[in-house]
Structure 1
Amino acid sequence: MRWLSLLLFAGLALAQPTLRLEEGWVRRVPGNITAAYLVLYNPTDKPIRIVGASTPIATRVEFHQTTQAGNDQHLDLSAMRRVDALTVPAKGRLKILPGGYHLMLYGLREKNPKPLAEGQKVTLTLRLEDGTKVTFTLTVEMR
């Protein structure tokens, strides 16, 4: 009986999600490029590094960060730069939101002849550094 309890406990531990989606959406736009935004929680004791992403609605997904450019108080310039990976801290959150990190989805028209629709469900798969893949469902929203 003790072995059975240990096996059940081990199975539950393995079944725990690596990352939890607390919030997520894809911006509804009429064009060929859009962005996805997420808030991810890492319940583990180690940082989790996200090294890739994919979705059936786009030909490619890139990680970007919005940065403020310029020093002049009267100029509010922002720029985007591509980043290779994103890290969710141990027992912490990574906010992938407008004005900061975001996921750029390119080639929407190649995968979807029609524009994204409000309320449409979109799957997004994140590839972690250890080879694990985590898939979430996001909703298309006009925000």
Structure 2
Amino acid sequence: MRRPVAGAVLVSAVSLASVASLAGCSSADASEDEPQLKVTGAFMPRPVSDMASGFLTVANSGGAADKLTSVTSDISDDVTIHETKDQKMRQVKSFGIPAGGELNLARGGNHLMFMGLKKKLEEGQRISVELHFEKTGPIKVDLPVKETTYNPTRH
């Protein structure tokens, strides 16, 4: 009678080892199913009033989409994200960042909007912002202040 018990213990041990190895595989695969975000090309044209715009690109090399949901900065208590359609801008709650794709905030298009700036900004300064996402943790980015007419597509 002891043999069947030993065999049952061996089968149970093999089953547990199989489950453990499968769990290890799925947790490794989970990282491929997460957004992997990187911010590039960030800048702010020098503002001429107490409002400013910010531009950048968020690339997502991961296997899952994410969303930019908000932006905070010590330069303004009112930073929003704006969509531009048919030459009209409006505030939106989020911007999608597709898996394997990017979100491009550019002049003449979607952008960050800073209202009620707390101080005058000059070319050469760097403005710190924190980007908040639906799935990914916050990302801190410095926006260099460029000349008022700066457009990277023309430089």
Give the TM-score of the pair, scaled to structure 2.
0.69
Aligned counterpart for 1:94 among listed residues 100, 103, 112: 103
Residue 18 of structure 1 and its aligned partner are, at CA, apart by: 3.7
Residue 120 of structure 1 and its aligned partner are, at CA, apart by: 0.5
Alpha-carbon separation, structure 1, partners of 2:144 and 2:60? 21
Counterpart code for 1:123: S
Q: Given the alignment of the two structures, is residue 132 of structure 1 paired with residue 141 of structure 2, yes or no?
A: no
| Structure with greater proportional helix content | 2
Alpha-carbon separation, structure 2, partners of 1:22 and 1:132? 17
The runs of 5 or more residues in structure 2 that have no matched partner are 1-27, 151-155
Map 1:1-143; keep pairs closer than 5 Å: 18-68=36-86, 78-108=87-117, 111-112=118-119, 115-130=120-135, 132-142=137-147, 143=150
RMSD, matched Cα: 2.0
Alpha-carbon separation, structure 2, partners of 1:59 and 1:43? 31
Give the TM-score of the pair, scaled to structure 1.
0.75
Residue 102 of structure 1 and its aligned partner are, at CA, apart by: 0.4
The runs of 5 or more residues in structure 1 that have no matched partner are 1-9, 69-77
Q: Which has the higher contact order (CA 8 A, sep 6+)?
A: 1
| Structure with greater proportional strand content | 1
Counterpart for residue 75 of structure 1 = none
Please state whether the residue corresponding to 2:122 is helix, strand or coil.
coil
Runs of 4+ with >2 A deviation: none
Alpha-carbon separation, structure 2, partners of 1:43 and 1:67? 27
Please state whether the residue corresponding to 2:44 is helix, strand or coil.
strand
Alpha-carbon separation, structure 1, partners of 2:107 and 2:51? 15
Alpha-carbon separation, structure 2, partners of 1:131 and 1:19? 8
Please state whether the residue corresponding to 2:123 is helix, strand or coil.
coil
